[in-house]
Amino acid sequence: MMDENAAREAVVRAADELFYARGVQAVGMDAVRTAAGVSLKRIYSLFASKDELIVAVLHHRTGVWDSGLASASERATTARERILAIFDFLDAWFREPDFRGCAFINTHGELGASSTAVADAVREQKRTFQQYVAQLVADAGAPPALAPQLAILAEGAQTTAAIAGTPDAAHHARAAAETLLDAAVPARPAAVVGS
Amino acid sequence: MMDENAAREAVVRAADELFYARGVQAVGMDAVRTAAGVSLKRIYSLFASKDELIVAVLHHRTGVWDSGLASASERATTARERILAIFDFLDAWFREPDFRGCAFINTHGELGASSTAVADAVREQKRTFQQYVAQLVADAGAPPALAPQLAILAEGAQTTAAIAGTPDAAHHARAAAETLLDAAVPARPAAVVGS
DNA sequence: TTGCGCGGAGAACGTTCGTTCTCTACTGTA
DNA sequence: TACAGTAGAGAACGAACGTTCTCCGCGCAA
């Protein structure tokens, strides 16, 4: 039998995929059971309710997003490059065949009005991303006001790509980010990250 | 008794408010009936199904959005001012107490995966907005590539404001739009709209 | 007045879903 | 072998929902 951690992870991963592909409310716990290979009894011993599972899925997605972003910026050496790497990361994501927009935005639109736990988890993820951008902006020597502008570009690219069904928005957002960076950063070599 | 058009409008308006406030799937047809003051029998004689009502609500919202945007840009005399008026319009909207993000984005996240009619209606609305922006960009004498960048800013501001629960994003997006405009438009007086 | 058709109120129906319960099989121990 | 405990499969339960149906009252034509 699976130990508790393995069962927990199997359930969260299966629920994540199903929720993302079809929407949370369109997926029954039976479908999660089948996909995860974990009995309903066990699922309900690991999570008190579907709501709790939803929050666990959002936390799991936060980790996936953070590590994806981190690995996408690994090759970048300057803060400016790291900022632009965000949009390259988005571009690659938008091209995945099962891309269906940002799971946090989707889930917030679906359940944010009725579940404060969901709204909180989504808000927390976005706040973390904004802080990540703010750090890069500071590293680049740009004024702090640039950070929310870049974050808004990233958010807008995600919804635009999801609705249009094309990855173009990543390219447009990246071009806008470059313009904003050029306008914000004093005209001298960008600072190296961490310097 | 209400004539057909009045009943239709009462149902669509009531459904619009309820769907926007709570999410589509969280609202039963009984609640629409009560809010609209139109019997279920009548509702189903006007709309073949809830899906059809949802699409009608989205079309109604498109009209509301378009006219709101048009009246917000009435006082603007130049294309640049009209572009920035978009973000002032967003700012005013974000400050409304019952603001809960863009209904199109929310509905797409909730039902876009299962209903192509919903996905189509949402895509159509976004396409119309992008064309509106593209026209203003052309009027301003800026290169066409600026238009999708401004549209992405507007989309990102809507989701950011909805999730954060604050109207700040409108201000940030407006500032970014100004920077992009300054960088894109040749340094001479902007053309007057329609000239 | 009588009959007719339309529409309102809401009960009813069938389905789906979240959650719990029952039954059975299996594992490890004495 | 007998037994206790655990977990899986899925039936069962109660609620909610989309949709339809029934019953009743009203307005109107003759």
What residue segments make up the domains of chain A, in order of their start? 1-47, 49-184
Check residue A129 and give its pLDDT.
96
Closest CA to A102 of A154, A28, A32: A154
**Span CA (B54) to C1' (D26), Å:** 32
CB of B49 within 7 Å of some strand D atom = yes
Return the C-alpha torsion angle A154, A158, A161, A165, nearest 10. 160
Cβ contact B3 with chain C strand, < 7 A: no
Which residues, at least 6 apart from B57, have a Cβ–Cβ distance to it below 8 Å?
B12, B15, B16, B19
Cα nearest neighbour of B118 on chain A: A163
Strand, helix or coil for residue B115: coil
Q: Give the three-state DSSP class for A31.
A: helix
User: Å from A114 (CA) to C30 (C1')?
Assistant: 55
The DSSP bridge partners found for residue A192 are: A78
Alpha carbons B94 and A85: distance in angstroms, whole number: 30
CA distance B177 to B175: 5
Provide the pLDDT for residue A93.
97
What residues in A contact B165, CB-CB < 8 Å? 123
The pLDDT score that the predictor gives to residue B187 is 61
Find all residues with CB under 8 Å of B97, minimum gap 6, and list them. Answer: none
Q: In the prediction, which pLDDT does A104 show?
A: 97
Question: Which one, of B14, B113, B108, B120, lies nearest residue B57 by Cα?
Answer: B14
**DSSP conformational letter for A190:** P
Tell me what pLDDT residue B112 has: 87
Is residue A75 pLDDT above 90, yes or no? no
Q: Mutating which of A120, A152, A182 best tests the B interface, going by the most B Cβ atoms within 10 A? A: A152
Q: Distance between CA B42 and CA B39 in Å, rounded? A: 5
Quickly name the fold that domain B49-184 has: Tetracycline Repressor; domain 2 (1.10.357)
Distances (CA, A) of B27 to A42, A93, B41, B116: 31, 33, 18, 20
Phi then psi for residue B192, to 5 deg, are -75, 145
Calculate mean pLDDT across residues A163-191. 86
pLDDT < 50 stretches in chain B: 189-192, 194-195
Closest by Cα among B11, B7, B4, B8 to B32:
B11
- Give the rounded distance of the alpha carbon of B56 from its chain centre: 14
Out of B23, B114, B156, name the one closest to residue A156 (CB): B156
CA distance B130 to A174: 18
Q: Which amino acid is at A10?
A: A
β-sheet bridge partners, residue A99: none
For B159, what's the count of Cα atoms within 13 Å in the CB-facing half-sphere?
34
Confidence at A187, pLDDT banded by 50, 70, 90:
low
Average pLDDT over residues A101-126: 94
Output the CA angle B98-B101-B105, nearest 5 degrees.
145
Q: What is the mean predicted confidence (pLDDT) over A158-176?
A: 97
Collapse the DSSP code of B100 into the 3-class scheme (helix H, G, I; strand E, B; otherwise coil) and give the result.
coil
- Residue in B closest to A119 by C-alpha: B163
Cβ contact A188 with chain D strand, < 7 A: no
**pLDDT over 50 at A195, yes or no:** no
Question: What's A1-47's CATH class?
Answer: mainly alpha
Q: H helices of A23-115, where?
A: 29-36, 40-46, 50-72, 79-94, 103-111
Better-scored residue on pLDDT, A6 or A127? A127
Quote the pLDDT of residue B195. Answer: 44
Secondary structure (3-state) at B73: coil
Bases of chain C with protein Cβ within 7 A: 7-11, 16-22
Alpha-helical regions (H) of B95-167: 103-111, 116-139, 146-164
Buried b (16+ CB within 10 A) or exposed e, B150-160: bbbbbbbbbbb
Q: Would you call B25 helix, strand, or coil by DSSP?
A: coil
The DSSP letter of residue A192 is B
Nearest CB to B179 within list A26, A156, A180: A180
Residue A48 approaches strand D within 7 Å at CB: no
Report the C-alpha gap between A39 and B178 in whole angstroms.
56
pLDDT at A108 over 60: yes
Residues A157, B156: C-beta atoms closer than 8 Å? yes
pLDDT at A103 exceeding the cut of 90: yes
- By C-alpha distance, the chain A residue nearest B144 is A172
pLDDT exceeds cutoff 60 at A101: yes
Any residues with CB less than 8 A from the CB of B1 and at least 6 apart, and which? Answer: none
Instruction: Name the DSSP letter for residue A48.
Output: S
What is the CB-side half-sphere exposure of residue B70 using CA atoms within 13 A?
7
